[in-house]
Amino acid sequence: MKKIINILRVPARKIKGFVKKRKKLSIFLGIVLVIFIVASALMGGNANQAVAMPTAVVVKEDVEYRVKVNGMVKSSEEKTILAPVYGTIKELHVKQGDTIEEGQLLALIDITEVDEQIQKAQIELELEKARLRVTQDEMDAAVMTTSNLKQKYENVQQLYDSKVKLLEQGAISEQSFKEAKMELDEAQSSYIVSKKETESGRYVQELNLQRSRVALAELNYQSLITEKEKHYIKSPISGTVGEVFANEGELLVAEREFIYVVNNNEMEITANVSEYDARKIRIGDPVTISTDDGQEYKTSVSSISPYAKKLQTSQGSESVVEVKSIISGEDTLLKSGFSVNVNILCDKKENVLTVPYETILTDKDGTQYVFTTQDGVTEKHVIETGLEGSLTVEITDSDLNEGDVIVINPTEDLMGQTSNETGVQND
């Protein structure tokens, strides 16, 4: 085109000269005719030239499907200890960075007040137990009395029965019999009253009431003992003191954050993967965890969330699935809160035919194909693909062979065109 434009420029200058000099129109028309002849010759020469095409080669190689995402590091075992009670920090036994064991004493909250309450509760408990013993003794005495009255009643009953016979024989007077009957009635009445009192009356009620008082006093005493135990703050896990939020002598409010403990010997890496990639991940898949400064750790997928959650991104809402891995060992330099790169190997095939993604075209019906080029001629080949790698895809069915040269970024109208290979590209 530059040649055509240059040719056009030359006659344009000449035309102005011819007009100024009032030359004949025939000379101008002749020049224009020459221009069109030259342009046609140039265009015809370009049409016969071969089309330049970048190419790649069908190769046999290993194909891996990997999911690469960002992840967050968190200790799989961490605990923020809250102040269990209100009080002053009497003793503080740890500082940030200390290594501690499960059950180790971390701090002591002042126990002066609770000790006084325990002492009072213990005294009250002993008093109630003493009252219970007195009531029990009274109850035992009442039972003994009832037993004696019963025995007396049975004896009087026997005496009365004998006097009934004597009265019938006329051996005793009527008055003597009446006195025996009165004595029997009195013994029976005393026994019945005493029996009721010991079995369900005053003594039983007092005994049950006192037992309840002892139980309440015992409960109060034990609750204070438990309350005192809360003043001895112990670590629920083994690990490292991450932070101490208060100093010795400081007044603590119940439920306030006090000490943060983290177990850095076992770190949990959490990553959010797309719902598409999540379908291909399985528990046990190999995982490589790496940091920007070159640290690298080998592990595997330990858990996959049973549900997807929505995340807001700059492109809008996205459904993601949470995937976790565990890194164990005291030599890890990872810390809770670090950001890492997560590389999950979901599938791998070895020594299979592959082509680059950019060599594949897809019809509206889903048929996939590539174009080969040989001796300057292109040819269409229908293919079926398998495992997708990061740059190439497996060919599972086609008439392609290893070493075939294929066109990169082809167009649908390549069939039958003459090609001029510009270079082979394969990673």
Looking at the domain assignment, is residue 239 inside a domain? yes
Looking at the domain assignment, is residue 344 inside a domain? yes
270 and 220 within one domain: no
213 and 120 within one domain: yes
Residue 198 CA to residue 141 CA, distance in Å, equals 9
250: exposed, middle or buried (C-beta count within 10 Å: 0-12, 13-18, 19+)?
A: exposed
156 and 303 within one domain: no
Looking at the domain assignment, is residue 190 inside a domain? yes
Of 408, 318, 404, nearest to 356 by C-alpha is 408
**With helix as H, strand as E and coil as C, how does the chain read?**
CHHHHHHHHHHHHHHHHHHHCCCCHHHHHHHHHHHHHHHHHHHHHHHCCCEEEEEEECEEEEEEEEEEEEEEEEECCEEEEECCCCEEEEEECCCCCCEECCCCEEEEECCHHHHHHHHHHHHHHHHHHHHHHHHHHHHHHHHHHHHHHHHHHHHHHHHHHHHHHHHHHCCCCHHHHHHHHHHHHHHHHHHHHHHHHHHCCHHHHHHHHHHHHHHHHHHHHHHHHHHHHHCEEECCCCEEEEEECCCCCCEECCCCEEEEEECCCEEEEEEEEEHHHHCCCCCCCEEEEECCCCCEEEEEEEEEEEEEEEEEECCEEEEEEEEEEEEECCCCCCCCCCEEEEEEEEEEEEEEEEEEHHHCEECCCCCEEEEEEECCEEEEEEEEEEEECCCEEEEEECCCCCCCEEECCCCCCCCCCEEEEEEECCC
Looking at the domain assignment, is residue 343 inside a domain? yes
213 and 118 within one domain: yes
Question: 280 is written with which tokens?
Answer: 């291909």
Choose one of 289, 319, 348: the last residue of a domain: 348
**Domain count for the chain:** 5
* pLDDT at residue 395, as a whole number: 95
Assess contact for 248 and 89: CB atoms under 8 A. yes
Assess contact for 68 and 346: CB atoms under 8 A. no
278 and 192 within one domain: no
> 112-169 and 174-199 are packed helices; what angle lies between their axes, rounded to 10 degrees?
160
149 and 220 within one domain: yes
Looking at the domain assignment, is residue 82 inside a domain? no
141 and 96 within one domain: no
193 and 282 within one domain: no
Looking at the domain assignment, is residue 81 inside a domain? no
CATH number where 290 lies: 2.40.30.170
97 and 244 within one domain: yes
Q: Can you give the residue range of the structural domain that contains 96?
A: 88-107+232-259
Choose one of 348, 381, 416: the last residue of a domain: 348
> 25-47 and 2-20 are packed helices; what angle lies between their axes, rounded to 10 degrees?
180
Which residues in the chain come in under a pLDDT of 70? 1-51, 201, 330-331, 415-427
Residue 127 CA to residue 147 CA, distance in Å, equals 30
Assess contact for 273 and 323: CB atoms under 8 A. yes
How distant, in Å, are the alpha carbons of 78, 271, 365 from that of 242?
A: 9, 24, 60
Looking at the domain assignment, is residue 80 inside a domain? no
Choose one of 207, 240, 259: the last residue of a domain: 259
338 and 320 within one domain: yes
CATH number where 355 lies: 2.40.420.20
* pLDDT at residue 33, as a whole number: 43
How distant, in Å, are the alpha carbons of 18, 270, 311, 376 from that of 49?
A: 38, 57, 54, 11
What residue type is assigned to position 359 of the chain? T
* pLDDT at residue 375, as a whole number: 85
* pLDDT at residue 416, as a whole number: 56
Question: 282 is written with which tokens?
Answer: 């399985």
What residue type is assigned to position 9 of the chain? R
User: Is the whole-model pTM more than 0.75?
Assistant: no
Residue 125 CA to residue 373 CA, distance in Å, equals 101
Looking at the domain assignment, is residue 83 inside a domain? no
Q: How many residues does the chain have?
A: 427
* pLDDT at residue 75, as a whole number: 87
For residue 269, the cross-strand partners are 73, 325
103 and 248 within one domain: yes
Residue 45 CA to residue 244 CA, distance in Å, equals 84
18: exposed, middle or buried (C-beta count within 10 Å: 0-12, 13-18, 19+)?
A: middle
97 and 237 within one domain: yes
Residue 393 CA to residue 383 CA, distance in Å, equals 11
Residue where the block lists tokens 């997807």 = 308
